[in-house]
Structure 1
Amino acid sequence: MSRTAERFATCDPVWAHIRQEAIEMVAKEPALAGYLHSTLLNHERLEQALSFHLAQKLGSTEMPSMLLRQVFDEAFAADSDIGAAIRADIMAVLDRDPACTSHLEPLLYFKGFHALQCYRLGHWLWNNDRHAMALFLQNRISEVFGLDIHPAAKIGRGIMIDHGTGVVIGETTVIEDDVSLLQNVTLGGTGKDSGDRHPKVRRGALICAGAKILGNIEIGECAKVGAASVVLINVPPRCTVVGVPGKIVGTCCDQPARQMDQSLPEV
């Protein structure tokens, strides 16, 4: 490790864990050595590694990975909050997903994490009036990872998108910190009205697999939406809603997004 890498590892514990886990994986699986060195160990910072990794996944004939990486590096350099959000997301996955056993697994393998980080870069582009590039990136995210996240949506930190397949997040959606979503969740509109038309998901909420939340409605802090529910009404904080159409059936635990308890109260 270079002196620069050592310095960053000292002040960046998430990156230090990732590097150490990568070194241990090389020892256990020598066949992965080239992959782990090119993706992780050859880079001095987490942002550099992620920029390389995502560009390799999203690059195409029309947009080579080297050019795409330049765009990503520009966003990382301009906004340090992106890096802070990435680290919070890694820790969220490690804390909440029992299938995740190391810091490096989300970075290497989890497409929900990959799509979310690509969204963060696209959101920076959108906010800097580079809408064409942001929409190009949205399209590539959808093609490669199977999630469709509009770059204008506002998404906080400490987010876990588990599995990720089929997740749709509309243009005026707001997702606050520490929210968990599972596969096939839709945060969409109810028609073709313009303006503010998508859900607002407050801090700590859990949105279970296949849930459809439609319209400019609010899912309250630490609320839970049951699997396959269709929600068209506001959900108060710390309440559970299930069914088609969704109805409030009781309360839920204090931190549903962290506990990932998808069971329902007795009704």
Structure 2
Amino acid sequence: MTTIKSKKPVYKRWWFILLVVLIIVPAAIGAALDDGKKNVASVSTVSTNTSNSVDEGDKKDMTKDINVELSVNENVAAGKVSLTGITNLPDGTGLMITVSNENGFRAQSSAVVISNEFMTEEFSNNGQALESGAYNVDVTMPIASVQPDAVKKIIGENSENLKGDLVKEGDLGKTVNYSKSIIVEGASKVDHSAMIKEYKNKIIGSYKTIKDTYGSHSKSLDAVEWAKFAREFKENVSNLRNEIEESKLNQSDKIVLSPACADLEMLLTAYAASLQGRGDDTEIKRLKTQIEEAIK
């Protein structure tokens, strides 16, 4: 009787097991490497997002709102005033400071904020003591467009980061405005109205004199007498002009009265040319109009 040996199933043979091992193990290793790469990429992405978040936070800190604060102290010495101030506006901010009174005095000084402080030049009346009395002090921060770039980065391109009662909306943009009143013990108070009237009367007298003298000489010219009159008239008007310039009148009043004296001197020259037959009636009319405007 012939004996038949049974064959082992394929999956139990040694070469099949070896083949399976060679296929499965590398695949498992590859899958593990792929997972590792994915995890590394994920960590990198989180790191980048964190960096962006920090940058955005820094930008917010740089552009935070500023509730504007500002104060001014005055120093009065010998009737002259200097001002110092404290503010939380950023370094480099440009300010304009104005001192004025009800009699027409007005002077300005520019200042720059440094370490939260600013100071002005000395305010005086052409180097002399200010007139005693009350004065207004106005501090203004102009619109952002005229401020340095470093300042605009903090306050905003249109000063949108500035807040508080001192911030005002204007036609050209936001400004900062601060005001206070101060008392100056300076020179004795001047009666400006009386002084202006006095100088106007002197100009009126000189104007009448030159017109009358020109009228008489235009009918019958006496060259010697005219020359004598011209010398005296020019000297008197020049002295009057110097007196006005050195007076305690406010600059705004001097700007009106002093040029009238210059016009009187030019009218003298124009009349002299007319008496010599080479006058300019248009120029004479222009000068007379300007003088009459100043003394009305």
TM-score range for the pair, normalised by the shorter chain length: under 0.3
Q: Which has the larger radius of gyration?
A: 2
Q: Which has the higher strand share?
A: 2
Higher relative contact order (CA 8 A, sep 6+): 2
Structure with bigger helix share is 2
